Amino acid sequence: MTADNTTPTYVLRYFDIIGLAETSRMLLTAAKAEWTEEHPEWPQEKPNQPFGHLPVLVEKSGAEDEEDFVLSESGSIERYLARKFNFVPTDNKQMARHEQLRDQHLDAIIAFFAQLSLVDEAKKEKREDFDAMLDKVIEIHTSLIRKNDDCGYLFGEELTFADMSAYAFYKLLVMYAVTFEADVAPFVKDKITPEVLHLLRTVESDPLLHEHVEKKGSFVAHILTE
C-alpha cells in the first residue's frame, strides 16, 4: 500500500430499495471493496446523472489528478464489478453463461412489471408470459444445482456472479415486487424447489456475504416463516 492511498473507493447511487441494485450491493460487499451508498434527491438529481437515471456507480481511484470513472446501467455495473473482482471466469464462453442467466433474470422481472398496469385479457396474457419465464428460470437453476453435485452453487465451488444474481432475483420478487402486487410473494415461494432453496441458503451463508446479510436481514428466514 502506498502512502497516498490509491485503492479505489466506490459510491453506488440508487434509491433505498432492493430494485435493480441488490446484485451490485452484494458484489461490492463480497469483493471487500470500500464503498458507500448514496440516495440522491429525486428527481432533482436526475439531470446530474450520465443518462438521467439510476443506478450509477462512481469509482474514485484515490489518485489526486485522476477523474472518477462513472458507469450507468445496472447490467453494465454488475458485469464490471463481477469481472474486476473475479466473480466470473475469464473464459469467454463461461463468462457468457453467467451473463445470459443474469439477462434472463432481468427479462423475467421486466415481464412482471410490464403486466402491472394492464387489465383483463391483456393483463392475463402478459402475466402468463411472466409465469412462463419464472418457471423457466427456476427450472434452469434447479438443473444447474443438480448438475453441480448439489453443492449449492450454480457453477463451480465458490460464490460467483450468477449465484448473487439468482439470489437477488428471488429476493426482488418476494420482497420488493410484492409491494406492487401482494400475490407474487406466495406465488414465487410455492414454486421454489429444494435445489433453489439450497442455493439461497448457500449464498446467504457464504462468509463473503456475512456483512450483507447482517445489514439487510436473512431472505431465507423470510421465506421459511409463514
Partner 1 sequence: MTSYIFRYFNVAGFGETSRLLLAASKADWSDEKPEWPQEKPNQPFGRLPVLVEQSADGSPDFVLSESATIERYIARTYGFLPMDPGEAAQQEQLRDRLNDVVIAFFTPNLVDASAREAKNAEFVGLLDRLFSVHSELLRKNGNNGHLFGTELSYADIATYAFLRMFLVNPMESLKQSPQLVKSKLTPELVKLAVTAEADPLLEAYVSKRGKVADVVQV
Site for partner 1, rule CB under 8 A: 50-52, 69, 71-73, 75-77, 79-80, 83-84, 92-93, 95-96, 99-100, 103-104, 107, 110, 114, 117-119, 122, 126, 132-133, 136, 140
Please state, as a whole number, how many other Cβ atoms lie within 10 Å of the Cβ of residue 208: 17
14 or 219: CB nearest partner 1: 14
Rank residues 43 and 207 by Cβ distance to partner 1 and give the closer one. Answer: 43
> Is 183:174 a contact under the CB 8 Å cutoff?
no
Closest CA to 172 of 210, 219, 123, 104: 219
Number of C-beta neighbours around residue 83 at 10 A: 15
CB atoms within 10 A of CB 210: 13
- Between 191 and 222, whose beta carbon lies closer to partner 1? 191
Task: Pick the closer one to partner 1 by CB: 51 or 225.
Answer: 51
Q: How far is the CB of 222 from partner 1 (least distance, A)?
A: 28
Tell the smallest beta-carbon distance from residue 13 to partner 1 (Å): 14
Smallest distance, partner 1 to C-beta of residue 101, A: 9
What is d(CA 3, CA 149) in angstroms, rounded to the nearest whole number? 46
